[in-house]
Structure 1
Amino acid sequence: MRRISMVLLLVVTALFCLATGAYAASKITAIKAFLDGDIKFVKDGVNWQPTDSKGNEVLPITYNGTTYLPLRVIADAFNIPVKYDGRAKTISLGNTEGVSDNQNVTLYAKQMKTEYSASAYYDVIDKKQLVFGGHQYNGAFAVTASSSEIYYLKVDFGQKYNSLHLIMVGKANMKFKVYNGDKQQLTDEISLVEGEVKEVDVDLQGSQFATIYTYGADTSNGYPLVYILKDSYVK
């Protein structure tokens, strides 16, 4: 709790790390502050000197009776991942894996969880299996499709989102539908052509879950796989 409180207190200091040109933005206000070299720091009971990524000493800034340090210095000191999106002027703290520069969160992100009802399920990382449409993908969730609407893959995004850009590839001709966590249908029936990449935008309507039913496949020679590519993203 102490670490979280400290980070929250110092978040506002991120403006000191922005590029000089940012001062032209309408919400940037010029202030008069002082670098205070007299302040000493103790971290976890041990004397600590704030430094930047190159090991250079960083002095705290005193402004209106409050002491500030650059957010990056604090984040690095406490091993807290930090990511800055200059275009959106958004700072992300904590796990940023799977977060793209425009704040789309892909299925590569660690918070993504899956459950399934199928004869087989794979978390595919073998890139040799993931070349579709002349493009190399790096990861996918793969489940088997059935002839009827009984097999599914459910993805838990970790929080609620408004939209899902879904990228799928079937190893045979088949169809799919997307439902939310309350089994409410979010899409019409959509066809997959064997080997072709299909991209669909799904209105999640503020859902934390998407359940993808795959069906209509020819199962006479076994249950074909369908790949839900991890380049799919929510926002």
Structure 2
Amino acid sequence: MKRKSVVLLLLITAVFCLATGAYAASNLTAIQAYLNGEVKFLKDGENWRPTDDNGNEVLPITYEGTTYLPLRVVANVLNIPVSYNDAEKMISLGEGKNVSLYSKQMKTEYSAAKFFDVIDKKQLIFGGKQYNEAFAFSASPGENYSLKIDFGQKYSTLHLIVVAKATMKMKVYNGAKQQLSDEISLVEGEVKEVNVDLKGSQYAEIHPYYGYNSNLSDYPLLYVLKDSFVK
């Protein structure tokens, strides 16, 4: 986390705005506050308006001379991952523990000629190492096929571990089709580990491809090992 972001976050008193369920009455204090539409914001010298994850404007709250914004709004603009554990009533800021693709919070969608959720360990020995599970899906001559992963919340880094069944290339995009990685070259049968800067995204789309001039006649598979993780 950048020092500037830490300092700014500490200077801003914020209210964490999430659907958290009911607190016991003893933990709640009634106050009289006001939505303040007069306050204007600058970010890096440019006009900025606070918005939620759906792009809806969020008005600050004024209470006893202090102006408050939801913590998620502040964290998003500073590119700081934020999450809430309702069971523990715990807010987490910044990079937490690594969360692998084995986690139940991970959801996948694919657009490919072939897709497999591989659990047969005999198929998952690469580079002399045994892996447990993987997503396998086919590459295409262009960037037409993809595996989309929904991490369940925003993260800063994706550590990908992949194995290609033929020489090919790969790119990673976010959920808005914005490119997150350079073109990554993959060698047949070689375990490739790469860090992708997610830039605070909740989604990653992996596009494997081998070029229209390739001699490949089939759609070779790319294995995304579930030991891959986000943080």
State the TM-score bracket (shorter-chain normalisation). 0.5 to 0.7
2:175 aligns with 181
C-alpha displacement at 1:222, in angstroms? 1.3
- Equivalent residues in 2 for 1:1-235 (5 A)? 5=23, 103-216=97-210, 218=214, 220-235=216-231
Superposition TM-score, scaled by structure 1 size: 0.57
1:230, 1:175 → 2: CA distance?
A: 20
C-alpha displacement at 1:221, in angstroms? 3.3
1:93, 1:121 → 2: CA distance?
A: 35
1:194, 1:113 → 2: CA distance?
A: 27
C-alpha displacement at 1:93, in angstroms? 5.5
1:80 aligns with none
C-alpha displacement at 1:149, in angstroms? 1.1
C-alpha displacement at 1:219, in angstroms? 6.5
Superposition TM-score, scaled by structure 2 size: 0.58
1:214, 1:109 → 2: CA distance?
A: 23
* Segments of 4+ moved more than 4 angstroms: 3-6, 91-94
Name the CA shift for 1:146/1:222 in 2 (closer, same or farther; >3 Å). Answer: same
1:160, 1:106 → 2: CA distance?
A: 14
1:124, 1:204 → 2: CA distance?
A: 25
Name the CA shift for 1:209/1:136 in 2 (closer, same or farther; >3 Å). Answer: same
Give 5+ residue unaligned stretches, structure 2. 1-18, 28-84, 89-95
CA offsets 1:47-67 (integer angstroms, 9 cap, x no match): xxxxxxxxxxxxxxxxxxxxx
Name the CA shift for 1:221/1:232 in 2 (closer, same or farther; >3 Å). Answer: same
Identity of aligned residues (%): 64
Secondary structure of 1:188's aligned partner: coil
Secondary structure of 2:122's aligned partner: helix
Name the CA shift for 1:144/1:219 in 2 (closer, same or farther; >3 Å). Answer: farther
Secondary structure of 1:231's aligned partner: coil
CA offsets 1:159-204 (integer angstroms, 9 cap, x no match): 0001000000000000000000111100110000000000000000
| Alignment-mate amino acid for residue 156 of structure 1 | D
CA offsets 1:16-54 (integer angstroms, 9 cap, x no match): xxxxxxxxxxxxxxxxxxxxxxxxxxxxxxxxxxxxxxx
2:149, 2:142 → 1: CA distance?
A: 20
Secondary structure of 1:128's aligned partner: helix
C-alpha displacement at 1:103, in angstroms? 1.4
User: Size of the alignment, in residue pairs?
Assistant: 144
Give 5+ residue unaligned stretches, structure 1. 10-90, 95-101
C-alpha displacement at 1:137, in angstroms? 0.6
1:202, 1:210 → 2: CA distance?
A: 9
Name the CA shift for 1:93/1:230 in 2 (closer, same or farther; >3 Å). Answer: farther
C-alpha displacement at 1:5, in angstroms? 4.7
| Alignment-mate amino acid for residue 227 of structure 2 | D
| Alignment-mate amino acid for residue 114 of structure 1 | T
For the pair shown, the structure with the greater C-alpha radius of gyration is 1
Note the aligned Cα RMSD (angstroms): 2.3
C-alpha displacement at 1:154, in angstroms? 0.4
